[in-house]
Amino acid sequence: MEDAAAKYEAWAEQLRKQLAANAKLRRQVRFFPLFALVTSPVGLLVAPWLTASIALAWILLWGTTLYITYMRTWEYRNELSSALAEVDRIRGAAP
């Protein structure tokens, strides 16, 4: 039984690392709208529609990244709570 509990604890540790990585990524992507403001005027050198395209690309990338990290965070938190509950169940059932 201790072997199974150790495997669940190792999985829980991996989930904690993934949660930390997602939090770090969300902090990093907060600058994407700023990048849109800085890089989109470069498009004016070519055409006005390119300016809008560059800004839209940054905003879409920002929104997509936030959505993916929030959904994965939700999934990892649920999985972490399940893994910890399973460890408690295994340890509680052990004589």
Report pLDDT digits (tens) over 25-40: 999 999 999 999 999 9
How far apart CA 84 and CA 48 sit, in angstroms, is: 54
C-beta separation of 10 from 86 below 8 A: no
Distances (CA, A) of 32 to 6, 49, 69: 40, 20, 15
Cα gap 36→76, rounded to integer Å = 30
Half-sphere exposure of 49 (CA within 13 A, CB side): 0
Q: In terms of pTM, does the model score above 0.85?
A: no
Q: For the chain, give every domain's residue range.
A: 2-93
Most confident of 27-31, 32-36, 77-81, 88-92: 77-81
Dump pLDDT digits (tens) for 47-68: 989 999 999 999 999 999 999 9
